[in-house]
Amino acid sequence: MMMKRKLRNEEILLISILVKYAGKEHAYLLDNIENLFAEEMNDGGMGSLLIFGNDNVDRKLGKCIAEASFCDDDETPVIVGLNIDNYQDLFELDMWKADGSPLISLPDVKNVSKLGDGDVPVTNW
């Protein structure tokens, strides 16, 4: 089991752009983001995180509020989803790298495209 830790700056930036993609009704999710904790998920190093901050012990997956894509440093496409829990709090940053390999680095947010916009910056599909 991984240890809980504070969210890193690059994770906060990625979550912030996903919240922006989710719409103004989800802006409240960023109110205390610097006080949230993360636990790395056992996903083969692809970068998925469980996100903690509230005291609710019976949290469970609610829904995905935003999905986006970017290319990792090796040009492999990565899909990222932001999930909230049954209390409408941040729950999970879910990452999937197309070839299943570990994530090399989180992207610069200017290289993250909302899925469905037709401008997904991937070249290896």
Distance CA 119, CA 113 (A): 7
Please state the domain count of the chain: 1
With respect to residue 68, please indicate whether it lies within any of the assigned structural domains: yes
How many other C-beta atoms are found inside a 10 Å radius of the C-beta of residue 52?
18
With respect to residue 75, please indicate whether it lies within any of the assigned structural domains: yes
Range of the domain at 109: 5-114
With respect to residue 123, please indicate whether it lies within any of the assigned structural domains: no
Contacts of 20 (CB under 8 A, 6+ apart): none
Beta strands 61-71; 37-40: pairing state: unpaired
Block residue for tokens 């909230």: 84
With respect to residue 54, please indicate whether it lies within any of the assigned structural domains: yes
Q: What tens-digit pLDDT sequence spans the chain (125 residues)?
A: 568 999 999 999 999 999 999 999 999 999 999 999 999 999 888 889 999 987 778 999 999 999 999 999 999 999 999 999 999 999 999 999 999 999 999 999 999 999 965 444 444 33
What predicted TM-score, i.e. pTM, was given to this entire model? 0.88
With respect to residue 125, please indicate whether it lies within any of the assigned structural domains: no
With respect to residue 40, please indicate whether it lies within any of the assigned structural domains: yes
Beta strands 49-52; 61-71: pairing state: unpaired
With respect to residue 122, please indicate whether it lies within any of the assigned structural domains: no
